[in-house]
Amino acid sequence: MAWRIDPEGVEARALAEIAPVDGLRVLELGCGDGRLTFQFANSAASVLAVDPDEERIASARAALRAEHAEKIRFVVAGAAEVDAPLGEFELALFSWSL
């Protein structure tokens, strides 16, 4: 049996309560393999999900379903390397990131 993080959905419910993404353009820093990205993507207008780990981004891209292909963009980059114009995002998320 594979180990699952947050099988009860506590993290996703807490995110929805504390920082709802409904209709927002979201910047997710430290997205890893997209574990959290895929949980909130349906509600967001768009997501730029970045992580410096190429292998984790490759895993996220491999798991990207067609229905999210226009909405989520996975990029290999560190937080300091994100080149985004001021006002492009309405919410920034950091999950399991330092």
Give the pLDDT band of residue 86 (cuts 50, 70, 90): confident
Q: Which domains does the chain have, with CATH numbers?
A: 22-94 (3.40.50.150)
> CB-hemisphere CA count at 13 Å for 1?
4
Residue 10: in which H helix or E strand, if any? helix 10-18
- Average per-residue pLDDT in the chain? 88
Closest Cα partner for 24 from 76, 85, 93? 93
Q: What is the pLDDT of residues 57-83, one digit of tens each?
A: 999 999 999 999 999 999 999 988 888
Give the pLDDT band of residue 1 (cuts 50, 70, 90): very low
